[in-house]
Amino acid sequence: MAGFKINKRAIEKMQKEIAREFERVNRKHPVRIPVEIEPPAMGVLTLSSASGIESDPHLSRLVLWLQESAQQHPGHYLDVSAFVEREELPAEKSDNMALQLENLGLVTIARSLAGGLSEVHPTEDGLLEARRLTALRADTVERFRHACDVLLRWVLRVGGRQTTVPVLGFLEDPLCSFAGDPLSEDEILGALDYLAEHDLAIRTIADAGVMAAITSQGTRCVLSGGTVNDHLNRQPTGGDTYNISNAHGFVAGAQQHVVQNNSFGLDASKLAEFAQQVRQFAPSLGLSEEEQGQLILDAEVLEEATSTEAPEPGRVRAAFDRLNTTLTAIGTASPGLTMLVGAGQSAFQAVFGA
């Protein structure tokens, strides 16, 4: 190629412009990663019950369906649209459900030029999650805990703060399930008895059968965003009250029941750091302006909930769940997104131990 010359000056100019742009972006959105958190291996997420998938009836059943289908057709990709059709769900849900499972590391999607996303193959984590869900279905304690939470929310959602509702009507609601397995009539009635015993709901008998209404304390429990168990654990038990600073294991008072308020409590600093990470990484995830705004807002809510002098476990859990749901609903997987989801699970486990 006689006469061809490389324009070195133009190349050097371009290199300087690229370097200046990187420097500008870095100043605007500096990346800070706490040294205590090790980013997980890309594409591999360690799941625990904190993933919350057992509360979603359709996703839970899909994970179990994929496990069963993979045993029947080993090595084959499976079509989520077949499951969606069997469940009589809208056809457009198949791609969305596949993306949700991929973001959780439970499946890999066979992407094609046609653009469909419903062809998937369960990962090792996906098969482990299916076994976890199967075990949860047989756990009577976890089923009862979940029944209390979802029933109380349903009573408020359907009946509002004033109206009584026939409690067995909940059996027709898709959310009346745990790990994809329907809750029974006995489980629902047992949960109502427990809620009534703790003044969270009122149980009555009418011509329509067993009726339920929510109390003001039950409304506060639902609106706090925590679980029934969280709410009851925050209630005082009566007796003498002592405010003691920097004293661990000290009990004072002559009565049998003592309420002792110590200066130590929930250490939510890891979740505060996670919220800051999300805010810093949000601009690099390739989101629309609306999606990025929602993600940053959820991160700020979590940061605020964890930064109070005495963080409330229920409020912190609810804020984390909102942020985690927004993260896992992002349709485009990326190494940065995978790292954030993994960091969130690690922070949650560090704070709540599960």
The string of pLDDT tens digits covering residues 200-222 is 999 999 888 899 999 999 999 88
Q: What percentage of the chain exceeds 90 in pLDDT?
A: 32
The pLDDT of 1-12, averaged and rounded, is 63
Given the structure tokens 């094609």, which residue do they identify?
A: 112
Q: What is the pTM of this model?
A: 0.54
Distance in Å from the first CA to the final CA of the chain: 66
Asked whether residue 27 carries a pLDDT value surpassing 80, the answer given is no
The per-residue pLDDT for 322 is: 86
The per-residue pLDDT for 255 is: 44
Contact 343, 39 (CB under 8 A): yes
Angstrom distance (rounded) from CA 271 to CA 68: 36
Tell me the average pLDDT of the chain.
79
The per-residue pLDDT for 28 is: 47
Q: How confident is the model at residue 305 (pLDDT cuts 50, 70, 90)?
A: confident
Measured at the CA of 154, the angle between CA 148 and CA 160, to 5 degrees, comes to 125
Higher pLDDT among residues 151 and 301, named by residue: 151
Q: What percentage of the chain exceeds 70 in pLDDT?
A: 75
- The Cβ-side half-sphere exposure at 302, using a 13 Å CA radius, reads 31
- Residues facing residue 121 across a β-bridge: 108
Asked whether residue 246 carries a pLDDT value surpassing 60, the answer given is no
Asked whether residue 239 carries a pLDDT value surpassing 80, the answer given is no
- The Cβ-side half-sphere exposure at 272, using a 13 Å CA radius, reads 11
Asked whether residue 34 carries a pLDDT value surpassing 60, the answer given is no
- Of 263, 290, 273, the residue nearest 340 (C-alpha): 273
Asked whether residue 166 carries a pLDDT value surpassing 90, the answer given is yes
The per-residue pLDDT for 3 is: 58
Asked whether residue 31 carries a pLDDT value surpassing 80, the answer given is no
Asked whether residue 315 carries a pLDDT value surpassing 90, the answer given is no
- Containing 103, the helix (H) or strand (E) segment is helix 93-103
User: C-alpha 141: how far from its chain's center?
Assistant: 20
The pLDDT of 36-46, averaged and rounded, is 36
Angstrom distance (rounded) from CA 156 to CA 339: 37
Asked whether residue 129 carries a pLDDT value surpassing 80, the answer given is yes
- 184: Cβ–Cβ under 8 A, 6 or more apart, which residues? none
Q: How confident is the model at residue 6 (pLDDT cuts 50, 70, 90)?
A: low
Given the structure tokens 């964890």, which residue do they identify?
A: 306
Asked whether residue 132 carries a pLDDT value surpassing 60, the answer given is yes
Most confident of 14-18, 66-70, 317-321: 66-70
Q: How confident is the model at residue 4 (pLDDT cuts 50, 70, 90)?
A: low
Higher pLDDT among residues 348 and 50, named by residue: 348
Angstrom distance (rounded) from CA 22 to CA 18: 6
Backbone φ and ψ of 119, nearest 5°: -85, 115
The per-residue pLDDT for 236 is: 58
Asked whether residue 51 carries a pLDDT value surpassing 70, the answer given is no
The per-residue pLDDT for 133 is: 93
At 121 the three-state DSSP class reads strand
Asked whether residue 37 carries a pLDDT value surpassing 60, the answer given is no
- 3: Cβ–Cβ under 8 A, 6 or more apart, which residues? none
